[in-house]
Amino acid sequence: MSEVLYQKLQNLFKREQIRINEPLAKHTTFQIGGPADYLLLPKEDTQVAEAVALCKEEGVPFFILGKGSNLLVSDEGYRGVIIKLAENFSHIDIKGNKVTAQSGASLYDMADSIAEHGLCGFEFASGIPGTLGGAVTMNAGAYGGEMKDIISDAVVMDLNGNKHFLKKEELRLGYRKSVVQEEHMVVLEASFLLETGKEEDIRAGIAELTRKREEKQPLEYASAGSTFKRPEGYFAGKLIMDSDLRGYQVGNAQVSEKHCGFVINKGGATAQEVYTLIQDVIRIVYEKQGVRLEPEVRLLGDFGNKKGKASK
């Protein structure tokens, strides 16, 4: 990256908000990924807009990152600027039955704060390992609940740095998709209208969902959560299991023996190993079951002759 870009970044961010050649393995739940040229840690909407504008002005690729929970970054890393909206961008405000939070707030922290205020409806999201921004972008869901069930509205930013207030229907939330994803916008904050309840009952519900996750999911290993989208009329994990792929391994990447819908990093797995395993699973399941699986995990960086489509 050019010295000119670095000097311009220093005009927008404090030194501690700029990281150079930052290993992205430290910023993804897969614990995989090479270095980014720059990683920025904005704290306000204006800094996000300024960073995006600068990248566009300089012709530098950029990517908006949350907790990195649904992402596979290539071993070579990312030649560009990562703009991370996570713990640095995570204020939560609760007034009455309305909850508003910045996009970097973790779903776990939100669920805890919401329970403390005696509000229910957010319990399903308590164990999803990501941030609010990613959850809205992908309409995240679990155990019968989805973001579209409870969201009221969101503030998003387009790639020209303009902010837009979108009501629930304008977000066009569907299965693992939204207008935010389709039009490459960035979620800055979102609001929810929830029902009142008893804190002890809400926490009991969260505890029960946690128990189910621990019982059924390989939480002891690094992963990106559920690896494949659910094919209509099927369950990805069962298709993989029925194709005799339980425990299938490429290097240190493995189809979980506990839940076949998860690809796990057994320790030291490379991005290429995970990518190869995913492609093997897609091919073998199609050959044996006649159903073509689609990855839920997004790619960032260069994977041989395939570029991660997530890069801007």
Catalytic residue numbers read 176, 226, 296
Contact partners, residue 128, CB within 8 Å, separation at least 6: 69, 107, 135, 140, 142, 225
Neighbours of 70 (CB within 10 A): 27
Picking from 43, 46, 76, 48, the residue whose alpha carbon sits closest to that of residue 64 is 48
Picking from 129, 114, 102, 110, the residue whose alpha carbon sits closest to that of residue 29 is 129
Return the structure tokens found at 266.
């057994």
Picking from 101, 128, 129, the residue whose alpha carbon sits closest to that of residue 114 is 101
Radius of gyration of the chain (CA): 20
Please identify which residue in the block is written with the tokens 């204020």: 91
Which is it for strands 71-73 and 298-300: parallel, antiparallel or unpaired? parallel
Please identify which residue in the block is written with the tokens 């776990």: 108
**Three-class SS string for 115-177?**
HHCCEECCHHHCCCCCEHHHHHHCCCEECCEEHHHHEEEEEEECCCCCEEEEEHHHHCCECCE
Q: What are residue 36's DSSP bridge partners?
A: 22, 78
Helices (H) and strands (E) in the chain, counts: 9, 21
From residue 266, alpha-carbon distances to 84, 257, 282 in Å are: 26, 12, 20
Hey, is 95 helix, strand or coil?
strand
Picking from 235, 234, 255, 253, the residue whose alpha carbon sits closest to that of residue 244 is 255
